[in-house]
Structure 1
Amino acid sequence: FFMDQTNQLLQCVVENARTGMNAVDQLLQKVEDAGIRDELMREREQYQAIAHTAEQTLYTMGGKPETVGVMQRVRMWMGMELNTLKDRTPAHIADMVIQGATMGVVDMTKARNELSEADAQAQGIAGEFIVQQQDNIERMKAFLR
């Protein structure tokens, strides 16, 4: 039971980090402003690192990360295409990133609360994800106009 909750929480970290990475990859194709581009690159590295940590921990425990569903990726892509169609300003991109990161914080906080029996390592990785998202939100606020 504990192992199951631990695996579920780690899987949640993997999914959220991969979703964030996919979103950043998509935004990077649309951004011309060097300042926000650098910020997005930094965020991408964070997502990659925490996804890797959660995946390695899953493997160590005998689990295996699941892939993010194709439909989920398609929906996100469509939403971003529409959202960046008319407005690619740093302020609008920052607004989108803040909204996405906020969803990540809420999702991960719910998962941590629901999966309270997950082990300390998994709880720590999930907590680190939340702190990173909150930091990203603060950093993106500088681009809002």
Structure 2
Amino acid sequence: MGFTMDANAEYLNYIYQNAKMGTDTIGQLLEIVKEKEFLEVLNSQYKEYEAIEKEAERLLKENGQEEKDISLFQKVSAYIMINVKTLTDKSASHISEMLIQGSTMGVIDIIKNNRKYQGAHENIIQLGQRLLKFEENNINECKMFI
């Protein structure tokens, strides 16, 4: 495939960081959530974030690039992580609300990046679209638990 410019690597790193934030957040929530049905949804979301994260990582490595830390996402992740760590209301409803807010910020960000990197390699664009559809789907899944 071969990257013709740094934009491809930047975009892949963005996708990687977004998915990594998802696995980090949901990984913590899996230890907190008690409702069986909600746990199944979170487990499924975790697996897809992980798959996207690994695919972005694979594409980066294939092109001699390293994935970068999730510092770009400090604002969003700090917001979510602080909420996860200080969670007094552990109900599916409250956690769903938090995830919807996080995914909504994610959707806005992904749309901006999909536009910014529309000249990227087809594989990367497809991964960006997969992430966008997945985040939108997460919002709809979480709505059921509000």
Same fold (TM over 0.5): yes
CA contact (8 A) 1:2 1:117 kept: no
Shift of 1:64: 1.2
Q: Which runs of 5+ in 1 are unaligned?
A: none
Structure 1 position 38, deviation (Å): 1.0
Paired residue for 1:19? 21
**TM-score when scaled to structure 1?**
0.88
User: What amino acid is aligned across from residue 103 of structure 1 in structure 2?
Assistant: M
1:78 aligns with 82
State the shift of 1:80 in Å: 2.2
Question: Which structure exhibits the higher relative contact order, with contacts defined as CA atoms closer than 8 Å and separated by 6 or more residues?
Answer: 1
- Give the secondary-structure state (helix, strand or coil) at the position aligned to 1:143: coil
Residues 1-145 of structure 1: matches in 2 within 5 Å?
Answer: 2-69=4-71, 72=74, 76-82=80-86, 84-85=87-88, 87-144=89-146
| Letter in structure 1 aligned against 2:102 | G
Q: TM-score, normalised by structure 2?
A: 0.88
The structural deviation recorded for 1:74 is: 5.7
1:128 maps to a residue whose letter is: R
Shift of 1:20: 0.7
The Cα of 1:46 is off from its aligned counterpart by: 0.4
Instruction: Compute the displacement of 1:23 (Å).
Output: 0.7
Question: Which runs of 5 or more residues in structure 2 are unaligned?
Answer: none
Identical counterparts, % of pairs:
27
Deviation at 1:68, TM superposition (A): 2.0
Contact between 1:43 and 1:136, CA under 8 Å: does it hold in 2? yes
Supply the RMSD in Å over aligned alpha carbons: 1.8
Give me the whole-angstrom Cα distance separating, in 1, the residues matched to 2:93 and 2:105. 18
- How many residue pairs match? The answer is 141
Deviations 1:63-97 (A, max 9, x none): 1111224x936664223223x22x11111111111
- Mapped to 2, the partners of 1:99 and 1:106 lie a distance apart of 11
Counterpart Cα distance in 2 of 1:2 and 1:131: 27
